[in-house]
Amino acid sequence: MEEPDAKKRKSGSIKEQVFRGWKKIPLPVRAFLALSACVGIVLLFAGLLRRPGSAAGGGAGPDVSGTGAFEAESAAEGEGSETSVSGQPEITGGDKKEGSGKTDASGGSKAEGSGKPDDEKTEESGKSGGAKTEASSERKLRKLVALTYDDGPSNATPLILDTLEKYGVKATFFVVGRDQVEYHKEALIRAYNDGMEIGSHTYDHRILSKSTQEQIWETMWKNDELLKEVIGFQPKIMRPTGGGINDTVRASIDRPMILWNIDTLDWKYEDKDTIVNTVKAEVHPGAIILMHDLIETTGDSTWQATAEIVPWLLEQGYELVTVSEMAKAYGYTLQPGGTYYSFNPLWSPDAELAARYYQAFGPKEP
């Protein structure tokens, strides 16, 4: 009978001992320990709330959760106290906005790191944004895609531009000089002034892989001269006609050759729904989508499809940017004579960026 009592007394006395021990610790130290525990609990909960699984709302969901995950990572790795400390409140602000509605892009575009496509567009259009904006957009998992239009300009071009302007997005036009730029100068000027990227698609749509080096130089040179005359700009990128490339082409072309990895076959089917469905089925961050703004080969299909594709992509959280902008944002350096089919962030030369995207999109994306 005595033993259990003794045990009880002992166990009681252990609590008392702990309590007395705690009281022996000087008050400031106790206060500090208690505070640390509180802060730890708060941070733990904040961390849990940002886990990818918890952000279930809407198409922009992956963006936001991905951003949060990376933020947490960078904080843990201690990649500069600026990002981890000052970055967190900004992101929280962005998350809140995300929930409350997508409309007020202008409000938070300058400094805040919200994951909204609208915000990022504002950043892009204001290219003078500076290092601060660039740094914050680099931390985001941006879903970029590039719409490209070949063989124009034609009567379809202004109709395509109507949509691009309406949504404030960018695309890239690989233009042909002969008959197209020559007769549709206004469309080209409008595209250029809108901030669309203009690439060369040769002067006469010559098949380069069946041409001599002199012929390749000539058709490139003539197109450059015409474009300099019309818009005062010489394209920095080009797309070989029909995608045909051989050693002669590689040795003759002095700028990056941009191909594509999503072919809408708009010229073949002249069918709006085929174009729309192809894009919906195949799109992924870094994709280069091939279409044609030559109304003679695609009819009305391409400009009508564009009017459907653009808002749909935006709803999915995509930003529609130019080819060069997407390459840069995903860490690719365009080389003269190099060939590029896409700028998939999963295969970015920037290993850190690739790892972040793999974490967010890897298992799902091609």
Residue type, 153: P
Least distance in Å: CB of 358 to Ni ion? 34
Binding footprint of Ni ion, residue count (CB under 5 A): 2
201 is an active site residue:
no
By CB under 5 A, tell whether 150 contacts Ni ion. yes
By CB under 5 A, tell whether 98 contacts Ni ion. no
184 is an active site residue:
no
Catalytic residue selected from 201, 205, 284, 292: 292
Q: Which of the ranges 81-89, 114-122, 142-150, 262-270 carries the binding residues for Ni ion, by CB under 5 A? A: 142-150
Please, which residue, 118 or 224, has the CB nearer to Ni ion? Answer: 224
Looking at residue 362, the DSSP 8-state letter turns out to be: T
Please, which residue, 145 or 208, has the CB nearer to Ni ion? Answer: 208
Please, which residue, 151 or 325, has the CB nearer to Ni ion? Answer: 151
What residues contact residue 325 under an 8 Å CB cut-off, 6+ apart?
A: 124, 144, 170, 197
Q: Are 257 and 240 in contact (CB under 8 A)?
A: yes
* Dist. CA 343–CA 90, nearest whole Å: 29
Least distance in Å: CB of 174 to Ni ion? 7
Least distance in Å: CB of 151 to Ni ion? 4
Q: Which of the ranges 146-154, 192-200, 212-220, 312-320 carries the binding residues for Ni ion, by CB under 5 A? A: 146-154
Please, which residue, 150 or 266, has the CB nearer to Ni ion? Answer: 150
Please, which residue, 204 or 308, has the CB nearer to Ni ion? Answer: 204
Which two three-digit tokens encode residue 12? Answer: 């009681």
Which two three-digit tokens encode residue 256? Answer: 């990056």
The tokens 């999503």 sit on which residue? 262
Looking at residue 271, the DSSP 8-state letter turns out to be: -
Least distance in Å: CB of 90 to Ni ion? 44
Among candidate residues 254, 267, 261, 296, the one with its CA nearest the CA of residue 282: 261
223 φψ region: left (φ > 0), alpha (ψ -120 to 50), beta (else): alpha
* Dist. CA 331–CA 349, nearest whole Å: 6
Q: Is 294 exposed, middle or buried (0-12, 13-18, 19+ CB in 10 A)?
A: buried
Least distance in Å: CB of 180 to Ni ion? 10
Catalytic residue selected from 150, 151, 266, 293: 150
Q: Which of the ranges 95-103, 144-152, 246-254, 313-321 carries the binding residues for Ni ion, by CB under 5 A? A: 144-152
Question: Which member of 71, 95, 124, 151 binds Ni ion (CB under 5 A)?
Answer: 151
Please, which residue, 73 or 270, has the CB nearer to Ni ion? Answer: 270
H/E run at residue 145:
strand 143-150
By CB under 5 A, tell whether 293 contacts Ni ion. no
Least distance in Å: CB of 340 to Ni ion? 17
Q: How many CB atoms lie within 10 A of CB 326?
A: 26
Site of interaction with Ni ion (CB under 5 A): 150-151
Question: Which residues are part of the catalytic machinery?
Answer: 150, 292
